[in-house]
Structure 1
């Protein structure tokens, strides 16, 4: 007898044993106003189910005229409730958020306002619905925005930096590419970006194999002659954050200005040859609406920054 009692004490001191005991706790009969239980008992075993229904003028706080609840470790899930038949259950609106009642239901006359998830817009611009006599006044739908983008472009020898898989992306999404070892994007180190603009992705970067001659250049620009300059490979292929520099030469004779030739700088909206005075900052529009690049002529060399959206410039995120 003493040995068996000692064994019980040892088991009772083991955390797993205590948890196993508490995990099978029975439930007392739930208190249900304006309704009845089947079967009606004083206690119910763990994992057992009961069915309940409500009196005339009332309804369960779940779909249907009858409902079930399960005993789990001393608690009922969901808690049996009978509500007024004019009240409304929580609406199911995919891809939307709204203020939820803890009870899971809403009184007659209550109005909710939704906010669609990123990349979705309210269909027909409807964002509110009202509980009227047990039903919602309108069915709210959040649909995919026509300005959202599908899968981003695939780039050979590069991967996209993502937190997880996405089948589409919200407007203005910025995605970062990273070239694999041994490859680089000239003009931007080993990183490049694409933007989702009006349902389409801007052009992806090109990852080129690093050669012994170009290793360590980090995308430095080339220098032209005779008053023109050759832009770096891939310059302006898409808008991106941050700045980079390009080099050019002033016209022969050392005149104090630099030249932007549209035949060469074809990723910018240049209708004619632009002359930039020494030290003068000048914003040139990129091929993407709303994007500009800052150019400057310093000591006869052309300095430029990558394309930046006007909104980011207003927030001082780019020059």
Structure 2
């Protein structure tokens, strides 16, 4: 069979080309080489359709069948069938490649994989080829021997990063900030460390600054002392000689609400007990972050990684939102469904249940927390409008 890799374009009408309003319906896609359920001319906003492809073809997404949702006159993904010899985008951990605008790749297509910073190919092979619907041996990106892991702990200092990362490429420079009341002494006052040949350079030490009697700082310009701002260096700690020494040895900065400064990250043991996340739990622990995941039938809302700030507070903690439907089959006794009792479906899950007649089934769907139950229909006719 010669590869044809044809794309089946959505059939749009002139009316759909104008300005779209919120909740606008979708036109039915033209499914040459496939069929869809339910088969209608238009679909309401947030309604869904399911489609499958004929022999020799497959959906342009994972699985032998797929579901698409109408969202303001556009489908959540374009329903289309492609030749079985075409390939879907591969998963390359710690690597990237040029993405196809079509969402799939033709037979014989060659992808060049580039590893992320700090990673390298395990072999000299950096390409993969689409052959008969599957990719040839996929390149693997592993940590480079010249890269560095998390920087070592620096006494009385914190690392300044916008976000946490575990691997740093060779020649990376990372800045740090000394705790209030401490500073870098000597001729080299640059507060940075560098990744070289897989190891971090030695960091300059943060030494305690000299202070005068309690309540005053030394004025080196003329030997006159100045009153100490009582709000300087506010944080978790005790006052010693007018400066603030934190209980954890971590740096303090201006108040977290000060828009001119960004809170600094410190090790998670500075924030005490881990935050609770109902219907979820901690799945990974690290000195600099904790990672959460939701239980089955729940969907995470918010970031999965939580860090500790130098003022003793946690970053945003995610929540777990219900992502399931509970169906009492006894309420659908007049549908002639054979089973009884309660079943639970995950969000976007579809389940076929047997009816009292042989080879007849009913289809139950869970979409955005709402259920839809079809009347019993013979499985051979299930994809016709009689089974909606």
RMSD (Å), alpha carbons: 2.4
Is 1:164 matched up with 2:148? no
The separation in 1 between residues aligned to 2:29 and 2:186, in whole angstroms, is 69
Q: Does 1:26 align with 2:25?
A: yes
| 2:271 corresponding residue in structure 1 | none
Give the number of aligned pairs: 198
Task: Find the counterpart in structure 2 of residue 91 from structure 1.
Answer: 90
Deviation at 1:216, TM superposition (A): 6.5
Aligned residue in 1 for 2:56: 57
Distance 1:215 1:197, change over 3 A: farther
Shift of 1:40: 0.6
The separation in 1 between residues aligned to 2:219 and 2:87, in whole angstroms, is 67
Name stretches of at least 5 consecutive residues in structure 2 with no aligned partner: 1-18, 213-217, 222-388
Residue 198 of structure 2 corresponds to residue 199 of structure 1:
yes
8 Å CA contact 2:189, 2:204 repeated in 1: no
Equivalent pair of 1:49/1:69 in contact (CA under 8 Å): yes
C-alpha separation between the residues in 2 aligned to 1:216 and 1:111? 67
Work out which of the two has the higher radius of gyration on C-alpha atoms and give 1 or 2: 1
Label 1:216 to 1:51 Cα distance change in 2 as closer, same or farther (>3 A). Answer: farther
CA contact (8 A) 2:127 2:138 kept: no
Give how far 1:181 is off.
Answer: 3.4
Deviation digits for residues 106-136 of structure 1 (CA, Å, limit 9, x no counterpart): 1001101011010111122321011111111
CA distance in 2, matches of 1:210, 1:194: 21
- Relative to structure 1, is the Cα distance of residues 215 and 26 closer, same or farther in structure 2, using a 3 angstrom cutoff? same
Q: Distance in 1 between matches of 2:162 and 2:195?
A: 17
Q: TM-score, normalised by structure 1?
A: 0.57
1:140 equivalent to 2:144? Answer no
Q: What does residue 172 of structure 2 align with?
A: 173
User: Shift of residue 146 of structure 1?
Assistant: 2.5
**Contact 1:153–1:204 (8 Å) recurs in 2:** no
Summarize deviations over 1:229-276 as a string: whole Å, max 9, x none. Answer: xxxxxxxxxxxxxxxxxxxxxxxxxxxxxxxxxxxxxxxxxxxxxxxx
Q: Deviations over 1:179-216 (max 9, x none)?
A: 23332212357532211122221212211122269986
Aligned with 2:191: secondary structure? strand
Matched residue SS, 1:106? coil
- 2:219 and 2:186 mapped to 1: Cα distance? 13
CA offset digits 1:153-176 (Å, max 9, x no partner):
222222222221112212221112
Unaligned runs of 5+ in 1: 1-18, 218-319
Name the CA distance, whole Å, in 1 between partners of 2:124 and 2:152.
31
Map of 1:107 onto structure 2: 106
Contact 1:178–1:191, Cα closer than 8 Å, also in 2: no
- Aligned ranges for residues 274-293 of structure 1 at < 5 Å? none
Q: State whether residues 28 and 42 of structure 2, in contact with CA within 8 Å, keep that contact through their aligned partners in structure 1.
A: yes
Q: Is the 8 A contact 1:149 1:170 kept in 2?
A: yes
Tell me: CA distance 1:101–1:216, structure 2 relative to 1, closer, same or farther (3 Å): farther
Judge conservation of contact 1:179–1:190 (CA < 8 Å) in 2: no
Distance 1:207 1:73 in 2: 57
SS in 2 for 1:124: coil
Deviates more, 1:204-213 or 1:42-51: 204-213
Q: Quick check: 1:30–1:76 contact (8 Å CA) kept in 2? A: no
Task: Give me the whole-angstrom Cα distance separating, in 1, the residues matched to 2:30 and 2:181.
Answer: 70
**Cα distance 1:189–1:84, how it changes in 2: closer, same or farther (>3 A)?**
same
Closer, same or farther in 2 for the Cα pair 1:164/1:28, shift >3 Å? same
Distance across 2 between alignment mates of 1:42 and 1:147 = 59
TM-score by length of 2: 0.48
Q: CA deviation at 1:26?
A: 1.4
2:104 & 2:135 partners in 1: Cα distance? 12
